[in-house]
Chains A and B, each alone.
Chain A
Amino acid sequence: MTATKEATVSGATTVHSGRSWTANVFKARESGIVLALIVLVAFTATQNSRFLSGQSVRDILLGTAILAVLAVGQAIVMITRNIDLSVGSVLGLAAFAVGSLMRDNPGLPVIVAVLAGLGVGAVCGLLNGALVRFGQVPALVVTLGTLYAYRGVSYFWAGGQQINADKLPASFLDFGTASLLGVPWLVLIAVLVLVVAGIVLRSYPAGRELYAMGSSPQAAQLAGIRVGRNTTAAFLVSGALAGLAGVLFAARFGTVDAAAGTGYELNVVAAAVVGGVAVFGGSGSVWGAGLGALLLTVIGSALAVLDINQFWQQAIVGALILLAIGADRLVAVRVQKTLSRRSVSQKRDAHV
């Protein structure tokens, strides 16, 4: 076929621009959140200067730290096309466990409290992961079940009692308020978690496999990725981070009862979704989830400063989630259109 040979010279398949589309989308998403933050902070500050006072900023950062640690774990699970609804209950259980531990053994160093929280969370997460993996039940259902189960364990254990700040050792409470070079410990820990998770997800095969699993579970299986093991690991990490968040919670508030962290799971999912983590897995970053946590905390704080009814906070969070999902759809449709139009107009292969 002489004709075919001629065509080979110009026989390029689809040609595309050098920039990665997804990278651009994430950048757009993250800069959008930053922009919203700046506008919100600027507006609130003009209305009430107390909003930028040291104490107010401190409260926002401490609140963000706990939510961000949870959101990182949630993002890791969501990237694998799963969801962990039990994080609020795990936080509560870990907070109560660590509170009891420190109350009964006032001499223990803080690091033991942190490790204990991580341990309690990890066990809960491992159980979630095992149920999802071996039960072949959707994570939504499994973690909805464990949400109630773990909370039930907390109530059973606490039996209505509350751990108050005056019963906790000073060293533990200091941990909740002390800072290093002006940055509270809680914030440092949250940043550390973010950075480590961000690097692992971006630059280590284990992280990339999580994205692959969420992007196409079947393909991941065929590519030889150990989907079951990785799923369990993702839940384990999410649980452990929820446990860590429980320690931070106990240290910050000093008062822990069985209801600690009730309803947190929805804030956490909201933070991740607003931050650009796709509910259907495969895309998003922990940075986005962290920014989402910051935005939600700032909104809550701003509304309080502006003296606006708490009801609006929930309505605004809801609107933000819808906006985030709508923006994702819009971008996806646009990208799809551009790509298919290009491939139609540029493909000129010999094929009769």
Chain B
Amino acid sequence: MTRPRPGRAPLLEVRGVTKSFGAVAAVAGVSFGLHAGEAHALVGENGAGKSTIVKMLAGVHRPDDGTLLLDGTPVEFGSPADAKAAGIAVIYQEPTLFPDLSVAENIVMGRHPRKSLGRIDRTAIREEAERLFARLGVRIDPARPARGLSIADQQIVEIAKALSADARVLVMDEPTAALSRVEVDRLFTVARTLRQEGAAIMFISHRFEEITELCQRVTIMRDGKHVSTDLLEDLTVDDMVKRMVGRDLDALFPKQDVEPGAVVLEVEGLVREGVFRDISFSVRAGEIVAFAGLVGSGRSEVVQAVFGVDERDAGVVKVGGKKLKAHSSRAAMAAGMALVPEDRRQQGLIMDLSIERNVTLPRSRALAKLGFLTGASERREARRWTERLRTKYRRLADPVGTLSGGNQQKVVLAKWLAMAPKVLIVDEPTRGIDVGTKAEVHRLMSALAAEGVAIVMVSSELPEVLGMADRVLVMREGRLVAELPRADATEDAVMYAAMGQGAAA
């Protein structure tokens, strides 16, 4: 339970709240308080109920039971407008922008500044956006439409939106998942300033280093229930993990030693004008090869071109010695290649379709008997893989859209793993996934490699790259600048290659 400092009541208190969707209690009897001038971390596995708490604070969901107290008085939020009016700003896990409107207008929507006759003051809007972007240290043109912004930029606009509201309570639901380190640093600088000005901050992240960096207090949730609330200095990361998972976690990087087999994937002289040049590499059966580099160095673009989602201007891709047709993901899949994309929710799932259908979609032909899909074989396959990834769901027949964000990601992974590919390309395999599942994904990748699958992994998490890869390929500005075997791949060596000499000096 909370240990309020004497004479200092929480600014916002969650008291015994419960929220059920159908028969499943997403949140059951959770209590904690957010104090002014304090950053409070909310941690738990995917599906632990964190986002449901956020949505109750935001006025999207109304608690079935329990109360929210603002300055000690019970409040009821009937709509997001009420929560906003009470000074609660929320940055959601997934950006919620208006693609057709300008970035500046996205920021002020709902409380436009006015001039004479109640008209909107466009100059003031633009100036406010420019001021906020300057504070965040980014250069985004306030007049451009939000459509086409990268995920990171969209998230920055979300942050600007929350800042512009002059919130007393700032709730951030995994704001850093898509951000680079530099952007995270800027966000934290701003968050600290807000905190010192007396705002209460609630922060959700799967990265413990970020939590320890920003927060003073932490609430741990498991399966919708409150586990503990403590000052962060009283806890170690191991304690947190244990309480989150409810069991001891095996090694996070369970890399098995595999004797590599024959070359499965060969890439020669791959070029895409203005994006990457001269990319050549090969991957053997049983090998895990990781692409490291800065965001924007072209890693994702390379694997997308290899898989044939994107066009390529020159170069050859061979699987098992056979040349693949360019710009044809169908040919790549027929040759036994699978790609788990970076933006899994958008590119990997059909939200209205059931979980089992989503898992078995790429294999629906193989599973069909006499051309018909039988429910039983689909369900069996789906159950096997979702259980292996410990996905939380009510029924396999539920639409994927009803799952929590992290669990949706697991379904995408399950879908591609169920294909039993020869070459598996995974872009950011564990982004947005909780620590328990991370280990599970790593174990799966390692097990697949041991079964003879050639694995290509793009990852921005250095520990993951170093922990899982047999070889590390480092990219900088669209070129392969280094190839490091496992023994030589240290944090320094990868960083040095990724940043180039000038920056590392």
Q: Do A and B come from one complex?
A: yes
Mark A residues whose CB is within 8 Å of B.
Answer: 1, 3-4, 6-8, 11-22, 199, 203-205, 208-209, 211-212, 214-216, 218-226, 278, 282-283, 335-336, 339-341, 343-352
With A21-B145, A203-B120, A350-B180 as known contacts, state yes or no: A208 contacts B105, CB within 8 Å.
yes
3 smallest CB-CB distances across A and B, nearest first, come from A351-B180, A224-B81, A347-B296
A204 contacts B148, C-beta separation under 8 Å: no
What 1/0 mask marks residues of chain B from 440 to 470 whose CB sits below 8 Å from any chain A CB?
A: 0000000000000000000010100000000
Task: Tell me which residues across on chain A come within 8 A of B59, comparing CB atoms.
Answer: 224
A3 contacts B504, C-beta separation under 8 Å: yes
Task: Tell me which residues across on chain A come within 8 A of B274, comparing CB atoms.
Answer: 341, 344-345
With A22-B145, A347-B296 as known contacts, state yes or no: A15 contacts B139, CB within 8 Å.
yes
B317 located at the interface, meaning its Cβ lies under 8 Å from any Cβ of chain A in the complex? no
- Besides the known contacts A203-B120, A278-B100, A352-B498, 5 further A-B residue pairs in the complex with CB atoms under 8 A apart: A4-B182, A20-B144, A224-B80, A225-B109, A350-B499
Task: Tell me which residues across on chain A come within 8 A of B39, comparing CB atoms.
Answer: none
Task: Tell me which residues across on chain A come within 8 A of B183, comparing CB atoms.
Answer: 13, 349
Task: Tell me which residues across on chain A come within 8 A of B120, comparing CB atoms.
Answer: 203-205, 208
What distance in Å separates the Cβ of B457 from its nearest Cβ neighbour in chain A?
14
How distant is the Cα of A205 from the Cα of B96 in the complex, in angstroms? 19
How distant is the Cα of A341 from the Cα of B114 in the complex, in angstroms? 36
- In B286-307, the 8 Å CB interface with A consists of 292-296, 298, 301
How distant is the Cα of A159 from the Cα of B80 in the complex, in angstroms? 50
What distance in Å separates the Cβ of A82 from its nearest Cβ neighbour in chain B?
15
Q: List 17 A-B contacts (CB under 8 A).
A: A6-B505, A7-B182, A8-B137, A15-B139, A20-B145, A21-B145, A203-B120, A208-B105, A216-B99, A221-B60, A223-B80, A223-B96, A224-B83, A224-B110, A339-B148, A347-B296, A351-B294
B97 located at the interface, meaning its Cβ lies under 8 Å from any Cβ of chain A in the complex? yes
What distance in Å separates the Cβ of B8 from its nearest Cβ neighbour in chain A?
30
Q: Which B residue sits closest to A12, measured CB to CB? A: B139
Task: Tell me which residues across on chain A come within 8 A of B118, comparing CB atoms.
Answer: 204
- In B265-297, the 8 Å CB interface with A consists of 274-275, 292-296
What distance in Å separates the Cβ of A80 from its nearest Cβ neighbour in chain B?
12
B110 contacts A13, C-beta separation under 8 Å: no
With A335-B148, A349-B294, A352-B292 as known contacts, state yes or no: A203 contacts B182, CB within 8 Å.
no
With A22-B145, A209-B109 as known contacts, state yes or no: A226 contacts B100, CB within 8 Å.
no
Task: Tell me which residues across on chain A come within 8 A of B482, comparing CB atoms.
Answer: none
What distance in Å separates the Cβ of A232 from its nearest Cβ neighbour in chain B?
16
Name the segment of B149-157, B213-221, B256-264, B408-416 touching the other chain.
B149-157
Task: Tell me which residues across on chain B come within 8 A of A208, comparing CB atoms.
Answer: 101, 105, 109, 112, 120
Task: Tell me which residues across on chain A come within 8 A of B137, comparing CB atoms.
Answer: 8, 11
Q: Which A residue sits closest to B81, measured CB to CB? A: A224
Task: Tell me which residues across on chain A come within 8 A of B144, comparing CB atoms.
Answer: 16-17, 20-21
How distant is the Cα of A345 from the Cα of B301 in the complex, in angstroms? 11
A13 contacts B92, C-beta separation under 8 Å: no
B110 contacts A223, C-beta separation under 8 Å: yes
Task: Tell me which residues across on chain B come within 8 A of A11, comparing CB atoms.
Answer: 137, 182
Tell me the number of A-to-B contacts counted with CB atoms below 8 Å. 182
With A212-B109, A222-B58, A344-B298 as known contacts, state yes or no: A350 contacts B182, CB within 8 Å.
yes
With A4-B181, A15-B139, A224-B84 as known contacts, state yes or no: A348 contacts B294, CB within 8 Å.
yes
Q: Which A residue sits closest to B104, measured CB to CB? A: A20
What distance in Å separates the Cβ of B59 from its nearest Cβ neighbour in chain A?
8
How distant is the Cα of A161 from the Cα of B90 in the complex, in angstroms? 61
Task: Tell me which residues across on chain B come within 8 A of A215, comparing CB atoms.
Answer: 98-101
- In B95-142, the 8 Å CB interface with A consists of 96-102, 105, 109-110, 112, 114, 118-120, 137-141
B477 located at the interface, meaning its Cβ lies under 8 Å from any Cβ of chain A in the complex? yes
B185 located at the interface, meaning its Cβ lies under 8 Å from any Cβ of chain A in the complex? yes
What distance in Å separates the Cβ of B35 from its nearest Cβ neighbour in chain A?
25
With A204-B120, A350-B180 as known contacts, state yes or no: A13 contacts B138, CB within 8 Å.
yes
Task: Tell me which residues across on chain A come within 8 A of B376, comparing CB atoms.
Answer: none
B503 located at the interface, meaning its Cβ lies under 8 Å from any Cβ of chain A in the complex? yes
How distant is the Cα of A203 from the Cα of B305 in the complex, in angstroms? 45
B182 contacts A18, C-beta separation under 8 Å: no
What distance in Å separates the Cβ of B295 from its nearest Cβ neighbour in chain A?
4
B196 located at the interface, meaning its Cβ lies under 8 Å from any Cβ of chain A in the complex? no
How distant is the Cα of A11 from the Cα of B301 in the complex, in angstroms? 21
A6 contacts B96, C-beta separation under 8 Å: no
How distant is the Cα of A199 from the Cα of B504 in the complex, in angstroms? 54
Q: Which A residue sits closest to B460, measured CB to CB? A: A351
B193 located at the interface, meaning its Cβ lies under 8 Å from any Cβ of chain A in the complex? no
B495 located at the interface, meaning its Cβ lies under 8 Å from any Cβ of chain A in the complex? yes
How distant is the Cα of A283 from the Cα of B462 in the complex, in angstroms? 43
Task: Tell me which residues across on chain B come within 8 A of A3, comparing CB atoms.
Answer: 495, 499, 503-504
A352 contacts B495, C-beta separation under 8 Å: yes
Task: Tell me which residues across on chain A come within 8 A of B73, comparing CB atoms.
Answer: none
How distant is the Cα of A220 from the Cα of B84 in the complex, in angstroms? 13
How distant is the Cα of A348 from the Cα of B298 in the complex, in angstroms? 10
Cβ 8 A contact of A352, one of B185, B275, B460:
B460
How distant is the Cα of A341 from the Cα of B298 in the complex, in angstroms? 11
B143 located at the interface, meaning its Cβ lies under 8 Å from any Cβ of chain A in the complex? yes
What 1/0 mask marks residues of chain B from 179 to 216 whose CB sits below 8 Å from any chain A CB?
A: 01111010000000000000000000000000000000
Task: Tell me which residues across on chain B come within 8 A of A212, comparing CB atoms.
Answer: 98, 101, 109
